[in-house]
Structure 1
Amino acid sequence: MNKAASWSKEEVSLWLTDQGLQEFSEPLQNYDGPALLSLATDDFKRSPLSRVTSDCGRLLLEKIETLKIEHHIDVHKNGHANGHMVLNHSGNAGSAGKAHRNGVVNGFHKELVQIPIPEPCSPQFPPEWGKTAVALVYALCCFVLTT
Structure 2
Amino acid sequence: MSPAAEKRALQIAVALVLILPFTAAIAGVVGGPTFLGRPPVVTTDLDSHFRYVSGIFLAMLLAYASCIPGIEGKTERLRLLGFLTVVGGLARAWSLVSVGVPSIGHQIGLVIELGIAPAILLWQARVACRFEGKAREAGVGASR
Scaled by the length of structure 1, the TM-score of the pair is 0.31
Q: Pick 1 or 2: higher relative contact order, CA cutoff 8 A, min separation 6.
A: 2
Pair member with larger Rg = 1
- Calculate the TM-score normalised by the size of structure 2: 0.31
